[in-house]
Amino acid sequence: MTGRRQLTLISEDKMDAMGIAAFSSLKADGKLSEDPGVTEYVVCVTKAILEVVPPEYGPDDGRWEVLVFEDNTPNAFALPGGKIGVHSGMLEVATTPGQLAAVLGHEVSHVLLNHGNERMSQSILADATVNAASAAAGAAAPQYQDMIVGGLGVGAQFGVLLPFSRKHESEADQIGQMFMAQAGFYPAEAIVLWQNMATQGGEAPKQWKSTHPSDSTRIQRLHDNLPRAMAEFEAARAAGKDPQCEPPPDEWINPEALP
């Protein structure tokens, strides 16, 4: 999708297996939302995004799982193997379906662009103590766990997401904005999302900023990409795409998840 060459030493099957294992661990360690309205809303937006990704990654292959975790940090993540997690705190910052679509389009883009595989492969080559062939063949071995969680972007402690490179973030921003536009979400909302991140105070936005760098250059890149995204948005709306995903009422918030 980007046209650039990538170093990917690990097979897609192995990446999927690691993503599924990491997601299982997150489910075991975290608390899932018990509000069906919240989950239904997040799933609605996610499905709209997945309907426009390349067919081999689409929603009809039965592999995508979407869960909402009760955690007040505004985080979200997507893992190889078709696993998507959204923290309840994200809905306090991404306050509209379009803004949530920007988040999900961004995270799904990381998976589709093989960013985890690329980062993990670079770690293999950079670490002289790791045998590249054995790591690529059996990277789920315990001695590779730190490398694995770093490559997938999920920290060992639940809720801590590790940053991708600025190149990866820029690619995910732009491709994610195109996905949301193709799904029928107004692409300028991606810009509003990051403006929200920049203006929010308190610990939660700092947590997000520490893992997904938000600055004026990022917002400017989304502005620069907006004409292309608007053309996709207008074509999507002309084709009848208009996702009807209703945000949950304020009452959904679990007081136990708040600071």
Active site residues: 107
Angstrom distances, CA of residue 21 to CA of 11, 18, 24, 68, 145:
16, 5, 5, 17, 11
- Residue 191: Cβ-neighbour burial (10 angstroms; 0-12, 13-18, 19+): buried
43/67 Cα distance (integer angstroms) = 8
Among candidates 87, 33, 29, 79, which has minimal Cα distance to 204? Answer: 87
Tokens of residue 27, six digits: 């489910």
Q: State in Å, rounded, how far the first CA of the chain is from the last one.
A: 40
Of residues 44, 146, 114, the one with CA closest to residue 86: 44
Instruction: Please give the torsion angle defined by the CA atoms of residues 114, 115, 119 and 122, in that order, rounded to the nearest 10 degrees.
Output: 50
Report the Cα 44 to chain-centroid distance in Å: 15
User: In angstroms, rounded to a whole number, what is the distance separating the alpha carbons of residues 185 and 167?
Assistant: 24
